[in-house]
Amino acid sequence: MSDPGPALSAQKSWFIARARHRFAMTRECALLLPRVCAALADPRQPGSDDTCLEKLLDWFRTLTEFDPAVKLVQDNPCLTEFITSVLALPEPSPSILSFTLRLAGILAASESRFQHLQQEKLLVRLFGGDGPLSSAVWEDASVRSGWVEGVHSMMHHQPALHFLCNGGGIDVIFALQGDPSLFVASAASRLLVHMLILSVETETTKPLSAKDCDWPACAQMIIKRVEDSLQSSSASHVEQSLKLLTSLFGSCRSTWTEVLWLGIAKQIESFLTEKTVQVQHMLANLLLSMAWSPVFCDSEGSFWALVTSALEHLTPVQAGPLAVGILRLYKCPQDVRIQALTVLLQPMDCILRAASQPLEYAGLLDESVSDPATVEGLLSSKSSCAGLLCQTLAHLEELLSLIHLPVDLPYASLLRSLMTILQFCNGFLSPASPLGSTISRILINCFRVQRSALDVLAALSERKGCDTLIGSLFDVLLAYLESPNTSPTVLKKTFQATSKWLVRLHELSCSNSQWQQTEKILEDVFLVLQKRLCSPCWEVRDSSLEFLTVLIKSLRDQDEFRQSLLSSEVPRLTENLLEDPESYVRASAVTAVGHLAFITYFAPESPVIGNQYDKENTVAKLQEILSTDPEGFPRRAVITIFTKWLRQGCTGQLEDTEQFVSRVIQTVEHDLDWEVRLGGLELVEVFCSQTICQLGPPKCSYAPVSSAVTSSIHQNKSLQVFCRAKLFSFLFRSLCDCDKPVGQRACDILLALRGSFYPISTLKDSQETGDSPAGSGIAWLQRTLRQGSLAQNFPTDGGNGVDFEDPESMMLALGTIDLEELHDELNKCSDHVEKSPQSLLQDILATVGTIEENEADCY
Amino acid sequence: MPEIKVTPLGAGQDVGRSCILVSIAGKNVMLDCGMHMGYNDDRRFPDFSYITQNGRLTDFLDCVIISHFHLDHCGALPYFSEMVGYDGPIYMTHPTKAICPILLEDYRKITVDKKGETNFFTSQMIKDCMKKVVAVHLHQTVQVDEELEIKAYYAGHVLGAAMFQIKVGCESVAYTGDYNMTPDRHLGAAWIDKCRPDLLITESTYATTIRDSKRCRERDFLKKVHETVERGGKVLIPVFALGRAQELCILLETFWERMNLKAPIYFSTGLTEKANHYYKLFITWTNQKIRKTFVQRNMFEFKHIKAFDRAFADNPGPMVVFATPGMLHAGQSLQIFRKWAGNEKNMVIMPGYCVQGTVGHKILSGQRKLEMEGRQILEVKMQVEYMSFSAHADAKGIMQLIRQAEPRNVLLVHGEAKKMEFLKQKIEQEFHVNCYMPANGETTTIFTNPSIPVDISLGLLKRETAIGLLPDAKKPKLMHGTLIMKDNSFRLVSPEQALKELGLAEHQLRFTCRVHIQDPRKEHETVLRVYNHLKGQVFPFFFYPPRNGLELIILR
């Protein structure tokens, strides 16, 4: 890896220093901790909220990460006292015992603290055979989970390793791999992997080799157990070991893993061929994790032979994930890749063959490599057909989403196969062949398969080589768009695929000048879109509008597209949907109308002019939505569209734009939805930067107290424009917004404006308000803002004589108010105080002894 | 043996967030997809990686069912469907589908407001997720696929809350979600028919409590609000936009009307109109009283409750304000609280529970000096009241539901381990059924004895009746035939028909075995003896007398 560079490492150390400071054991915390410990260990107190205990552990984890010294436990003897007192309880509550185990593990993560706890004999009492392990509370999954997590946390040094191995802990962990709790079982498996790696990597004195593999004692114990369980006749034992190996090979890339593998390879291989123990489904994952490890993928011969054998022996469903994983690899023998491709394409091939008459046969795969009997069997069974197809389609989509595909797929045949599946699903194809008719009967109206096939279809549009089929593809897509049986979710996916293929169609028609085909298809698409825009189902109307917006975004520069669109009823229907009863639809209609405007009004060669598309009317409608719509989504959509128009220079000359912006911000500043207000600020930001660009930067630097400056202020057109448009009132008010992101954004804009109006050199001198007429008002403003933006509302009367439309006052305000300080304040979490360790300790203490009803309550 | 497996990923011996996986007859269903509001990191969502080791979630899960709109039941849904990648069907009732996005938006806003919170869904994700939802009506049997069907029952609790029955073949599970067995001011009581599920998964929040009448709590609430307003104080009621807010609004509206009170009542956000709009829209989901009075007056069109403007907080004189969010952790409710906290005449009433890390939690646990930003100390002099209006079934209600549904097994979720333990024993004693209470991550397996229907071919039946045996329901009798299992259905047909249907040719097998018998008697005598002996054997042996030496043919 490349060096992150000094800037990045400086940033990293800044973050560490900040976190260390934030989570440090302050004097206040150290004072609270003994009381908290006493309360937690007191069985008479009702148990503390689980989240409190979790957060307390988070804090200790951070504390100990930054500081491995023993000082933490020495300075805070309450911690060891707490452990001792919990151990002394005759019947500790499972949650407190679990907490204690995890806490002890976190503390023992450093060797010095481990020794300290050992001296006190706490670790052996907690994690040894006579501890919770042998008590009745062990029945509780949270205690077992706490035990495993505690051991995992401490497992960073050899003493911990020896402590556990010598105390019989390995047996416990192996047993916990089969725990009834999924969480405990998987934590135990992860722990074993961690211990094995730790043991080999810290205790091996010379490199291990197949001939001379002198495993360290702890590693030896684990490996022996793994080998034994692989030979066991119990499927669950074998599964546990395979899981462990999968996770090991997936996380450890050291060469010793190969030495370990050589010892078990024969046994693993036998699972494939003998099938006495049903664990084949686990083998694909194991082999895949190995294939991704350089230790194995660079090896020659035996490993890849095993992968090939697995691809042959596993069922298509089991082999699928392995095949797709192999196909993603850049380094892989060609014959294995072909084998994997065969596995993946087999079902698609089968579909094609099932649909075709013998003479038309054009499968995906060469007959010599394909053995279709199994796949045909699965596809003709109702219980497995959809499952296998969905899995295959998902894998294909995964492959197609890769930018660089290490393998060539037969795109045209794949597309044909996809079309066939989609036609089976909507009943448009019922072939005569027995297999074909069986599959089509099974797939008819199968939404799952439809959704997956459409996803692949969309992904396939990025690939070349399917162009000859594009006409028939649109027949299939249009059939889906038209059919009343298409479910809303399938329709949404059809829209997604259609929009992608329309872009592809356009590219094609540019190169082969087949405009007629394109026009016909577009005409059909808009015809069906008209119907869908009137659907009684809001999901369909919304997806239709989203589809229209996507189309306009990608094809608005194309004449054929514009003409087809404008000669259809779609624009009118879209405008009608601005009054839809469903707010999501209104919002999507706003976005669509906003984009339509790029074609109807804003394009230099707007094809239709006249009453039909009245720009003022549309703007007025959107304005009305912004000021009156009872719900946030449409209003948010309007402000986003307005900003987009402004950004693209569609709002006319500067004067018009000034009025437009002014009108908009006066509407949004009282909006109840913070995202609308935030959108308003974005609009202001764009307007400011455009105005400054247009009118040029200030010609000279300003110092607000001098009279020379006063005149130059008046010459500063940008500032005057901003004042006239009432931007400053909006910006300063927003600093006091009860929703933090609004304040933050306003502060950012004000800082940027100050940067434009004040060169840094003059800023230092301008921090005093002086005795100018506006001075007292600004001083008041400064005080108000300093009190904490969230502390109070911005006075409604505009406040104590501050004239937000007076350029001089605003210039003074920009130069005087400590915006940096405000910025820092606003950028703090709104709950940063409540999140602090001290606050947590106070909360735990305060909860002790409160009525129990609160805890049990919920929604 | 057929089995039903249940694994809670959340709500197993806790009330954090509900997410329960059920496997029934080869189908996998996720019940609820909740979020834990006590965490700001990934722990707020259930760990979905446990659902399937490597496969795709969409392939593994047949559907997701959401019981109601509370975030601890639906809060992780957009994350699950738009970020984790579940693309299959999601079911909920119509009101839940309408209201869910409002609450999700509300919560998204708060999390975005708090910096450092990552991995959270966007507005577009909420919409895309809701578009995947299939809304269901009460008592409508919805066919998820050919085998799996679900049916919703009224659960009370909040508007649109439902219990669901999940059925595959003759095996079934009923899931209660949160429910309330007593009607309240705006909702009716939960009801389920005698569906006799193999397993009833029930919430057990108030497993050991017999709750006092809600009327008492309501009276108490009104008394406190009234007293404060009378002495000129201001009352802040932090609420979430939907649910309890509406219940309390009705309560105050009626009280104000009756007492002819003049102090203004405000609802702080624009959400109230939308919320009330849904209550009006889904009037059939409310209780009988509201439905009846609807003809004369809609209970959700409030005369006394007005929209709040931020500037009103500084107005002198008494007032009551409902403000969001409900735990005083951000936004408007916190802003108003800061303003009013210093005055002992004022009061804050927390009508629901607050997670640690919120100002609501602090004041409820009795803390009165709160550190705010900039190290400022806010001294809370105003009165702090906690009043739980949460609508869950108490121990009595849970027992009543079990009596109604008559399940064969019960599984407790959404409660505390200790209380569950108590209720479990009670259920086992009273109903003589097994009761389970798995922790999160623990799988409970329940064996079922499904009766498998088998169709009998007409030909076979006729043949049986032809030999004089008329069917009699009281006398089950043995019937011979060939069982054909095809497309998940079973048919018993005559062997000839089976051969014909399956297109198979008939083959006859002959097993021979040579046996040497040492017998001093003559060969003929020996054969006869053996013949007579075997002839005496009962079915299924057939014996053909030897034609040619010592050859026996025995057919089974």
Residues A17-36 have a mean pLDDT of 85
Q: Do A539 and B206 touch (CB under 8 A)?
A: no
Q: Closest Cα of chain B to A22: distance in Å?
A: 14
pLDDT(A714) > 60 = no
Angle at A267 between CA A266 and CA A269, to 5 degrees: 65
- The amino acid that residue A697 corresponds to is P
| Amino acid A366: pLDDT | 63
Q: Do B358 and A834 touch (CB under 8 A)?
A: yes
Angle at A418 between CA A416 and CA A424, to 5 degrees: 105
Round to the nearest angstrom and report the end-to-end CA distance of chain A.
Answer: 49
Cα B135 to the center of its chain, rounded Å? 15
β-strand partners of B64: B30, B90
pLDDT(A823) > 90 = no
Residues A197-225 have a mean pLDDT of 86
B540 preceded by a cis bond (ω within 30 of 0) = yes
What digits encode the pLDDT tens for the residues B486-531?
877 888 988 888 888 888 888 888 777 777 778 888 888 888 887 7
Angle at A386 between CA A380 and CA A391, to 5 degrees: 120
> Which of A735, A754, A753, A736 lies closest to A745 in space, CA to CA?
A735
Q: Do A51 and B39 touch (CB under 8 A)?
A: yes
In terms of pLDDT, which residue wins out, B201 or A711?
Answer: B201
| Amino acid A74: pLDDT | 93
Which pLDDT band holds residue B551 (cuts at 50, 70, 90)? very low
Which pLDDT band holds residue A626 (cuts at 50, 70, 90)? very high
Q: Closest Cα of chain B to A34: distance in Å?
A: 19
A484, A536 Cβ separation under 8 angstroms: no
- The amino acid that residue B427 corresponds to is I
Residues B284-296 have a mean pLDDT of 73
Q: How far apart are CA A245 and CA A111, in angstroms?
A: 28
Cα B379 to the center of its chain, rounded Å? 43
| Amino acid B399: pLDDT | 96
Q: Coil, strand, or helix at residue A604?
A: coil
Give the count of beta carbons closer than 10 Å to the beta carbon of residue B264. 18
Q: Do B58 and A832 touch (CB under 8 A)?
A: no
A136 near B CB under 8 A:
no
| Amino acid B540: pLDDT | 46
B-proximal residues of A, 205-264, CB under 8 Å: none
Q: Do B371 and A839 touch (CB under 8 A)?
A: yes
Mean pLDDT, rounded, of chain B: 86
Q: How many residues appear in chain A? A: 859
Q: Closest Cα of chain A to B176: distance in Å?
A: 15
What digits encode the pLDDT tens for the residues A367-406?
555 567 889 999 999 889 999 999 999 999 999 998 888 8
Which pLDDT band holds residue A800 (cuts at 50, 70, 90)? low
> Which of A511, A433, A423 lies closest to A472 in space, CA to CA?
A423
Sort out which chain B residues have CB atoms less than 8 A from A52's CB and list them: 356
What digits encode the pLDDT tens for the residues A644-671?
999 998 877 777 889 999 999 999 998 8
Sort out which chain B residues have CB atoms less than 8 A from A183's CB and list them: 50, 440-441
Closest alpha carbon within chain A to B387: A854
| Amino acid A423: pLDDT | 95
- Residue A794 DSSP class: P
| Amino acid A491: pLDDT | 97
Q: Closest Cα of chain A to B72: distance in Å?
A: 8
Q: Closest Cα of chain A to B114: distance in Å?
A: 5
In terms of pLDDT, which residue wins out, B329 or B199?
Answer: B199
> Is B442 considered catalytic here?
no
Q: How far apart are CA B275 and CA B277, in angstroms?
A: 5
Q: Do B443 and A182 touch (CB under 8 A)?
A: yes
From the list B15, B132, B329, the residue facing A858 with the nearest CB is B15
From the list A142, A387, A739, the residue facing B113 with the nearest CB is A739
Which of B102, B131, B377, B443 is the best residue to mutate to test the A interface, defined by the most A CB atoms within 10 Å of its own CB?
B131
Give the count of beta carbons closer than 10 Å to the beta carbon of residue A536. 6
pLDDT(B401) > 60 = yes
Q: Coil, strand, or helix at residue A404?
A: coil
A171, A127 Cβ separation under 8 angstroms: no
Lowest mean pLDDT among A149-163, A592-606, A757-771, B259-273: A757-771
A539 near B CB under 8 A:
yes
Q: Do A825 and B374 touch (CB under 8 A)?
A: yes
Lowest mean pLDDT among A284-298, B106-120, B334-348, B362-376: B106-120
Q: Closest Cα of chain A to B516: distance in Å?
A: 39
Sort out which chain B residues have CB atoms less than 8 A from A186's CB and list them: 50
Q: Coil, strand, or helix at residue A535?
A: coil
- What is the pTM for the complete model shown? 0.87
| Amino acid A5: pLDDT | 56
Sort out which chain A residues have CB atoms less than 8 A from B335's CB and list them: 738, 790, 793
pLDDT(A150) > 50 = yes
| Amino acid B76: pLDDT | 96
Sort out which chain A residues have CB atoms less than 8 A from B61's CB and list them: none
Q: Do A633 and B112 touch (CB under 8 A)?
A: no
Which of A58, A62, A785, A859 is the best residue to mutate to test the B interface, defined by the most B CB atoms within 10 Å of its own CB?
A859
Residues B92-104 have a mean pLDDT of 92
Q: How far apart are CA A592 and CA A597, in angstroms?
A: 9
Mean pLDDT, rounded, of chain A: 86
Closest alpha carbon within chain B to A828: B115
Q: Closest Cα of chain A to B342: distance in Å?
A: 13
| Amino acid B296: pLDDT | 61
A857 near B CB under 8 A:
yes
Q: How far apart are CA B301 and CA B280, in angstroms?
A: 9
What digits encode the pLDDT tens for the residues B160-180?
999 999 999 889 999 999 999
pLDDT(B391) > 90 = no
β-strand partners of B313: none
| Amino acid A833: pLDDT | 61
| Amino acid A637: pLDDT | 97
Q: Do B356 and A49 touch (CB under 8 A)?
A: yes
Q: Do B441 and A842 touch (CB under 8 A)?
A: no
Q: Coil, strand, or helix at residue B286?
A: strand
B268, B308 Cβ separation under 8 angstroms: yes
In terms of pLDDT, which residue wins out, A649 or A681?
Answer: A681
| Percent residues over pLDDT 90 in chain A | 59
From the list A94, A387, A843, the residue facing B356 with the nearest CB is A843
A184, B440 Cβ separation under 8 angstroms: no
CB pairs under 8 A between A and B: 199
| Amino acid B297: pLDDT | 62
Which pLDDT band holds residue A222 (cuts at 50, 70, 90)? very high
Residues B206-231 have a mean pLDDT of 86
- Counting DSSP H helices and E strands in chain B, the numbers are 16, 27
Strand B141-143 to B148-154 pairing: antiparallel
| Percent residues over pLDDT 70 in chain A | 85
B-proximal residues of A, 494-533, CB under 8 Å: none
Q: Do B367 and A846 touch (CB under 8 A)?
A: yes
The H or E element spanning position B412 is: strand B409-413
Strand B489-493 to B482-486 pairing: antiparallel
For A121-197, list the strands marked E by DSSP.
none
Distances (CA, A) of B273 to A407, A412, A748, B279, B300: 57, 54, 33, 10, 9
The distance between the two most distant Cα atoms of chain A, rounded to a whole number of Å, is 97
| Amino acid B23: pLDDT | 97
Lowest mean pLDDT among A502-506, A845-849, B60-64, B423-427: A845-849
What digits encode the pLDDT tens for the residues A62-93?
999 888 888 899 999 999 999 999 999 998 99
B194, B174 Cβ separation under 8 angstroms: no
Which are the contacts of B455, defined by CB distance < 8 A and separation ≥ 6? B489, B490, B491, B492
Q: How many residues appear in chain B? A: 556
Kindly tell me the burial class for residue B157, based on how many C-beta atoms sit within 10 Å of its own C-beta (0-12, 13-18, 19 or more).
buried
| Amino acid A218: pLDDT | 93
Residues B275-300 have a mean pLDDT of 73
| Amino acid A851: pLDDT | 45
Catalytic residue among B82, B171, B203, B218: B203
What digits encode the pLDDT tens for the residues B463-474?
877 776 666 767
What digits encode the pLDDT tens for the residues A38-69?
999 998 877 667 889 999 999 999 999 888 88
Q: Do A828 and B38 touch (CB under 8 A)?
A: no
Q: Do B487 and A382 touch (CB under 8 A)?
A: yes
Sort out which chain A residues have CB atoms less than 8 A from B440's CB and list them: 141, 181, 183
- The amino acid that residue A43 corresponds to is P
